[in-house]
Amino acid sequence: MDSATSLPFTLSPNASPVTAQQRAQILANPGFGRVFTDNMVVIRYQEGRGWHDARVQPFAPLALNPACAVLHYAQEIFEGMKAYRTAESGITLFRPYANAARFAKSAARLAMPEVPEEVFVEAVRQLVRVDHAWVPGKPDESLYIRPFMIANETFLGVKPASEYLFMVIASPVGAYFGEEAVSVWVSDFCRAAPGGTGEAKCGGNYAASLLAQQEAKGHGCAQVLFLDAVERRWIEEMGGMNVFFVFDDGSLATPPLTGTILRGITRDSLLTLARAQGLTVREEPYAIDQLYADAASGRLKEVFACGTAAVVSPIGRFRGPKGDAVVGKGQGIGPVTAKLRSALIAIQRGTAPDPHNWVEKVI
């Protein structure tokens, strides 16, 4: 049934997982997104039959027909979330239903079937349970979880596919960036236009952003900042992170959700935490020329990027065709950024109370 809100899972996990010793070696220096746990979740969809055949099975390459729709027309969406090891050696997820809800919205935009929220979260729980030993325990470390869906019909005609695979894989990760402020390239390329897919978490958005990212690297920058596609004036977001500005009056601003920006769960959480800290927060458009002026005048004190992977990362410098702007001293993490970052991490790691019920215990 399409409307099934839960599915039975068949558990056939990896019979020869890596040894505890090999795993310990991998966890000593996991990097980001290069090593994966012993298992994965696969759930199939077929038009008329709905979601079925949910399995926890060994992590392994897929066999895809070369005419498989996703390989040609990029009908693909994904999510990014993390499992954390808590001080009491439990394992938790952070706002997993928010990821499930966003995944359903992305699916609708890409004309894909929605995975019921409960099935999405249960799939994540199943993988975390079976691969619990892969959740690293040091501060800044976590198990990065990647749910995704691909069009799996063998057909070269252009139409929404009739078959899909929903999968969940996981990768132990260390810190993404440090606390050192990064430089950001203000790109002439656009990431998303009104009416496009900017609000959907789809692989195609990333494919379109890679040339800008490459250009940024060429200019000595770690990340790209995209402006709006209509006026090329308003700051939107980074390639994979939302952005916040901190001003000399202590207030914060972040670009509003107008349909071309990804609705970050970190962004939403930080808005809530900032308001709880008594800060004034505005969701309002901010022009790139104003950023250059405010950086020069000293009105702009701190800038940071945020997202699940990097959590909260300070930005020290903007470079672009219109010149350079240095934020604050151009290095280190500012006090407002640092306080928000610690508040978020404390809730995620279970070292602070969770007044918003964001944390879901898995084990």
Ligand X SMILES: *Cc1c(COP(=O)(O)O)cnc(C)c1O
Catalytic residues: 201
The first and second tokens of residue 285, run together, are 């458009």
φ/ψ bin of 350: left (φ > 0), alpha (ψ from -120 to 50), beta (otherwise): left
To ligand X, the closest distance from the beta carbon of 42 in angstroms equals 23
Q: Determine the 3-state secondary structure of 140 from DSSP.
A: coil
76 touches ligand X by CB under 6 A: no
Provide the minimum distance between the beta carbon of 348 and ligand X in the complex, in angstroms, as a whole number: 12
CA distance 144 to 36: 9
| Per rule CB under 6 A, count of chain residues that contact ligand X | 13
Residues paired with residue 11 on neighbouring β-strands, in sequence order: 56
- Taking the complex as a whole, the smallest distance from the CB of residue 55 to ligand X amounts, in Å, to 26
Taking the least distance from each CB to ligand X, the nearer of 39 and 106 is: 106
Residue 37 is a binding residue for ligand X (CB under 6 A):
no
Q: What is the DSSP letter of 326?
A: E
242 binds ligand X (CB under 6 A): yes
Please state, in angstroms and rounded to a whole number, the distance separating the CA atoms of residues 136 and 186. Answer: 35
Site track 285-324 with ligand X (rule: CB under 6 A), x = hit: ----------------------xx----------------
Return the range that interacts with ligand X (CB under 6 A); candidates 22-30, 141-149, 156-164, 239-247: 239-247
Tell me: does residue 255 bind ligand X (CB under 6 A).
no
Question: Contact, 284 vs 311, CB < 8 A?
Answer: no
Neighbours of 13 (CB within 10 A): 18
Stretch that binds ligand X, among 17-25, 233-241, 277-285, 287-295 (CB under 6 A): 233-241
Q: Mark 78-107 with x for binding to ligand X (rule: CB under 6 A) and - for no binding.
A: --x---------------------------
- Going by their DSSP bridges, the two strands 252-254 and 281-283 should be labelled as parallel
Strand residues in 202-241 grouped as ranges (E): 223-227, 235-238
Q: Which residues of this chain interact with ligand X, rule CB under 6 A?
A: 80, 201, 237, 240-242, 262, 264-267, 307-308
